[in-house]
Structure 1
Amino acid sequence: MILDAPAEMRKNDPSGMLRMARKLPEQIERGIAVARSAPALPDSSRFRQIVVAGLGGSAIAGDILKGLLEDSGSIPCLVVREYTPPAFIGPDSLVFCSSYSGNTEETLSLYEAGKQKNAGLVCLGSGGELQRRALADGVPFLKMDEGLPPRAAIGYSFFMIYGLLARTSLLPDNTGELEETVSLLRRKAEIYREEIPTSDNPAKSMASALHKKLIIVYGTRLVSSVAMRWKCQFNENSKVLAFANVFPELNHNEIEGWLGFRALGVPAEVVVLRDRSEHSRVSKRIGITLELIRGNGTGTREVWSEGESPLARIFSLIYLGDFASIYLALLYGQDPTPVNRIQELKRRLSEESSK
C-alpha cells in the first residue's frame, strides 16, 4: 500500500505538499511575527464590523475568524466571496483584502470598492497587483512568503489577520491560545508524518476510509469553517468531489435527501467534525441523524477536536483534514499540488477579457 511506502509517496508528491503541511506550525509563528511588526491599525475603536474579502483559502481564514468572533469577540465578521461588497460597507468597516497571489480579480474588485467607500483597508498576500495598489495608496500590506499554493498558506492568511487584531481592542488577548495551538500542531505533525504507518496514523486511516467514496463533511457552529476547509482540501488536493454542511441547518433540508440516496448506488462516507462547544440539542440531533444515514448503508465517522482553547481545537481538526486530503490524493495516484482545472478556468477567463 502506497501510504506505507514513504519513498514512493515522495515520488508522487514532487512539489512537496506533505512537507508544506508539516511546516504549518513554523508558518503560523512567521505570520504572527509579521503581524506584530506591522504598523498598528489606526483608531480601531471606529470599526463596527470586520470584513474579510477573499476567495478559496483566504476566505476560509475569514470563516475561521468569523467563528471565533461569534464565540468571544465584540464585533461581527463578514466574509465576502464576490466582486461587489454589501451596501453597508463604509468608514466604520475594517476590510481585510486577502489574495495570496495578489491577482485574484474578485479581491481586487473588492479593494477598489472598499477604497471608494472610505473603509479601513488592510491587504495581505505574497505580491502581485494587490501589493502594487496597496503601496501606491498607502494601505498597509502584510507580505507572505512566496512559492506556496494559496491553500498551503493558511498559517499566513489567518494568523496575520488574527495577530493584527490581537493588538487592538477588537480581539481578546490570545498569547496563550497561540502558544497552545503551535505546540499541539507540532505534536500532530509527528503523528501524521509519512513515516508513521497507517495503523498508527489517523490521517492515513482517514484517507483510507474515504478512498473511492463520495465525501460529505458536517460541522457544528464553532467548527463549521473546518467542514468547508475539509471539503475544499479534498477538492483541490485529492481531486475528488466533496460536500459540506452544518448542524442544525442540515436537519431542516439535507436530511431528506438521504432518503433517495441509496438508489444512486454511490458509495459515500459522512464525517462529522465535533467540538465540545456544540449545543446539547445539536448533540442529540447528530446522534439521530447518523442513525438515519447509516440506515441507508452509508458509512459514518465522528472526529472530535482536541485542545483547550477554541483556536487550538479548530486547528486540530484543520490539520487532520489537510494531511488526510494529501494522503487521499496519493491513494488515487494524484500529485496533490497542481490545480489544473482552476488554472484552465483562469486562462480562459483571461482570453475572454482580452477579446
Structure 2
Amino acid sequence: MRQAILDFTKQFDYEPIIENSKSLATHNSFLLTGMGGSHLAADIVKSIQPEIDLTIYSDYGVAPASKEKKTNSLFIASSYSGNTEEVVEAYTQAQNEGITTAVLATGGTLIERAKADGVPYIQMPDTGIQPRSALGLSLLALLKIMGENALLQRVQQLKQILQVPALEESGRILATQLANKTPIIYTSTKNKGVAYNWKIKCNETGKIPAFYNIIPELNHNEMNGFDLQEKSKELGKQFCVILITDEADHPQNQKRMRVVKELYEARSISVIEQPLSGKSPEEKIFQSLLIADWMALHLAELYNHEAEKVPMIEEFKRKIA
C-alpha cells in the first residue's frame, strides 16, 4: 500500500483511449452507475465542477430518470474490475432500453460485452492496485469519456504539483490523534466527495469504522445527538470529528463549521480541523486525499492491520454469489 501511495502521481501520465469512439456523440448530461471505488472519480468531478449534469447511482440498474432524460444522456457503466454485478445489470438495462452507453473498466464482463456490442469503452490499465488507489486513472478515463478535455489536462498537471512523500507526516500525526477513536468526517456539500473518500480510506485501508456527514444538513439533526448528558456522555468519547474546511465554501457554511467545532469541544468531543489547501480545486482535493491515504496507512499500522486488501468485502461477495 505504501508503494501505491508513493506512485500515485504516476497515474497522471495516463492517456485514456476511447475504443469504438465513432459511435460516441457529444453529451451534456450523464448517468453513471458505479459501486465502491468505481464511483469515486465521479464524486470528485462533482466536487470540482458541481454544475456538471452528472447523476451518480450506486445500486442495481440505471438511475431512475424520465424517458427524455435517458434519451438525452450518456449512460456510463463504471466498474474497475468490469465484473461488479450491480453495474453489469445496469449495462444490460441500458442496452435493453436503447440508452446510449459507454464503459469504464480494466477488463472483465463489461469490456467483453462492450467489444461485442460495439459500445464505446475505455479499458484502463490493470496495475494490480485496489480501485480506491486507482483514482487518478479512473478520473482521467471518466473525464475523457465525458469530453471534459480541459479539466483532464488540468488534472494531468498535478503530477508536477503534488509532493506525495512530504504529506506523510501530516497523515502520521492525524493517525496518532485518532488512536482509539472513531472518525466522523464533516465538510460542506460541495466537498461531499472528499469527505466520502476520507471515510472509505479509513474503512478499507485503516480497517476501522468511520462515518461522514455534510454541513449545513447535519446542523438540523446529527449534531443534536452529541448534546450528551450525564448518563450518555461516555458515548461521545469514542468519536473524533475531522472538519474539512475550505476557504471557497459559502461564508455562512464556514461560520457553521466554526460554531460546530466550538459546540462539540464544549461537550468534550474531539475535533481536528483539516483545511483544504492549493491553488486549484483539483490540487486542494488531491492533496487532501493523499493526506487521508497516509493517515489510513498509519492507522492500519497502529492497529496491526494489513492495509491493502479487503477480506471482509471479498468474503461477503463469496457468500452472495
Which residue number in structure 2 is paired with residue 190 of structure 1? 165
Task: Describe the superposition over 1:247-272 as per-residue Cα deviations: whole angstroms up to 9, x where unpaired.
Answer: 11111111111113624254221111
- How do 1:188-267 and structure 2 match up within 5 A? 189-192=164-167, 201-260=169-228, 262-264=233-235, 266-267=237-238
Q: Tell me, yes or no, if the aligned pair for 1:229 and 1:318 is still in contact at 8 Å.
A: yes
1:34 to partner: Cα distance? 1.6
Residue by residue over 1:189-238, the C-alpha shift from the partner in whole angstroms, topping out at 9 and shown as x without a partner, is 12135xxxxxxx11111111112101000111332101000101100111
Indicate the SS of the match to 1:211. Answer: coil
Q: Following the alignment from structure 2 to structure 1, what is the Cα–Cα distance between the partners of residues 224 and 192?
A: 20
Amino acid corresponding to residue 260 of structure 2 in structure 1: T
Unmatched runs of 5 consecutive residues or more in structure 1: 1-16, 194-200, 351-355
2-side partners of 1:318 and 1:96: how far apart? 24
CA shift, 1:107, in A, is: 0.6
| Paired AA for residue 54 in structure 2 | C
Given that 2:18 and 2:122 are in contact with CA atoms closer than 8 Å, whether structure 1 keeps it comes out as no
Q: Which of residues 132, 152, 161 in structure 1 aligns to 2:142?
A: 161
**Alignment match of 2:4 (pick from 5, 9, 20):** 20
- Asked if the contact 1:40–1:164 (Cα under 8 Å) also holds between the matched residues in 2, the reply is no
Deviation digits for residues 123-158 of structure 1 (CA, Å, limit 9, x no counterpart): 111111111111111112211222121111111112
Alpha-carbon distance in structure 2 between the residues aligned to 1:42 and 1:102: 20
Aligned partners of 2:48, 2:297: CA distance in 1, in Å?
27
1:68-100 deviations in whole A, cap 9, x for unaligned? 331xx4x41111101032132522111221111
Match of 1:68 in 2: 48
Match of 2:113 among 119, 130, 133: 133
- Residue 65 (structure 2) aligns with: 87
Larger mean Cα displacement after TM superposition, 154-163 or 207-216: 154-163
TM-score, structure 1 length as denominator? 0.83
Give the partner amino acid of 1:202.
Answer: S
Do residues 150 (structure 1) and 150 (structure 2) align? Answer: no
Residue 176 of structure 1 deviates from its aligned partner by 6.0
In structure 2, the residue corresponding to 1:90 is in which secondary structure? helix
Q: Is the CA contact (8 Å cut-off) linking 1:54 and 1:79 kept in structure 2?
A: yes
Q: Give the whole-Å Cα distance in 2 for the aligned partners of 1:40 and 1:291.
A: 56
Q: Structure 1 pair 243/41, CA: closer, same or farther in 2 (3 Å)?
A: farther
The percentage of aligned residue pairs carrying the same residue is: 30
- 1:23 aligned partner, one-letter code: D
What letter corresponds to residue 166 of structure 2 in structure 1?
A: I
Instruction: State TM-score, norm by structure 2.
Output: 0.91
Change over 3 Å in CA distance of 1:296–1:110 after alignment to 2: same
Distance 1:275 1:163 in 2: 28
For residues 259 and 56 of structure 1, do their structure 2 counterparts lie closer, same or farther at Cα, with a shift above 3 Å needed?
same
Moved more, 300-309 or 341-350: 300-309
1:177, 1:309 within 8 Å by CA — same for their partners in 2?
A: no
SS of the residue corresponding to residue 290 of structure 1 reads helix
Q: Do the aligned partners of 1:95 and 1:120 also contact (CA within 8 Å) in 2?
A: yes
**Structure 2 partner of 1:7:** none
- Are positions 1:329 and 2:300 aligned together? yes
Deviation at 1:335, TM superposition (A): 0.7
d(CA) in 1 for partners of 2:205 and 2:140?
A: 22
Structure 2 residue corresponding to 1:315, chosen from 273, 286, 289: 286
**Pairwise CA RMSD:** 2.0
